[in-house]
Amino acid sequence: MANQLMPALEEDGGCEVVQIYNRSSGPAELLSKKLHKASFTSTISEIDKDADIYFLAISDDAIPFVADQLMSTIPLDAIGVHCSGSLDLNVLPFERKAGFYPLQSFSPNHEVSWRWIPLIITAPDEDTWLALDEIAGRLSSSVYRMTDEQKSVLHIAAVFANNFSNHMLTLAESICTEQNLPFEILKPLILETFSKAIVSGPRESQTGPAVRGDQKTIEKHLKLLEERPQLANIYKVITKSIIEN
């Protein structure tokens, strides 16, 4: 995420990125080269002491550790920001702190357009909120201020919408593979499913045996899944949920 956020902060966010820190100097140097005049370092004690905002765009596990080390280095009135979707603000020891969470799934080879990424800002005080909102508003057209708890619940929703729906596709793929069917065969259906969910809403576009109450087909499917008890269990649990929702 850092690799896409830092250039965006310079290009559209109105920020001057002064330095990139990474525990390995290779990636730090690589990213600094994408920026106007950012230096780079892999030594925490060499981190620049004059910045206004410090972004911790690093893995959740590393945040408390790096934040504690940073605490003794950076100015008291600087804002320490983490970019985690699941961590609360209390993991940050700074006087002024905020969360800056882009609700998107990032991958190295695919550049995303920041304009459409919802940015979730958590900030306990008004000054900090205003500073982050100014930057976020230049990057994206949808900026939300939330409490830690609201953000956590949103993160759960994102797990369902992204991770769990994707896993359903993985299971579908594995069923096809077992039958020597190409996953390609499901792609037109998948495309239709998601464009309908986006356009008409998922509840309205639900189809299939469960929502039709088609017990005959459900029982037939469960019989065919008899030798794959874990898959059969998922089938039962989700079918029940569709019927009850």
Tokens 């290779």 map to which residue?
Answer: 26
The closest alpha carbon to 17, from 28, 7, 25, belongs to 7
Compute the distance between CA of residue 239 and CA of residue 31 in angstroms, rounded to an integer: 47
> Interaction with a copy of itself in 58-117: which residues (CB under 8 A)?
60, 86, 103-105, 107, 110, 112, 116-117
The closest alpha carbon to 23, from 48, 40, 1, 5, belongs to 40
Shortest spacing between CB 197 and a copy of itself, in angstroms: 5
Please tell me whether residue 237 adopts helix, strand or coil conformation.
helix
Q: Does residue 189 touch a copy of itself according to CB under 8 A?
A: yes
Question: Of 130 and 168, which has the nearer Cβ to a copy of itself?
Answer: 168
Question: Of 65 and 164, which has the nearer Cβ to a copy of itself?
Answer: 164
Shortest spacing between CB 94 and a copy of itself, in angstroms: 21
Phi, then psi, of 21 in degrees rounded to 5: -105, 135
Question: Of 69 and 174, which has the nearer Cβ to a copy of itself?
Answer: 174
Shortest spacing between CB 217 and a copy of itself, in angstroms: 4
Tokens 């702190």 map to which residue?
Answer: 97
Compute the distance between CA of residue 23 and CA of residue 56 in angstroms, rounded to an integer: 12
Write the DSSP symbol of residue 146.
Answer: -
Q: Does residue 171 touch a copy of itself according to CB under 8 A?
A: yes
Q: Does residue 217 touch a copy of itself according to CB under 8 A?
A: yes
- Assign residue 213 a region (left: φ > 0; alpha: ψ between -120 and 50; beta: otherwise): left
Select from 90, 111, 161, 215 the one that contacts a copy of itself (CB under 8 A).
161
Shortest spacing between CB 118 and a copy of itself, in angstroms: 5
The closest alpha carbon to 82, from 154, 138, 151, belongs to 151
Question: Of 47 and 225, which has the nearer Cβ to a copy of itself?
Answer: 225
Select from 34, 138, 145, 155 the one that contacts a copy of itself (CB under 8 A).
155
Contact region with a copy of itself (CB under 8 A), list: 8-16, 20-28, 50-58, 155-163: 155-163
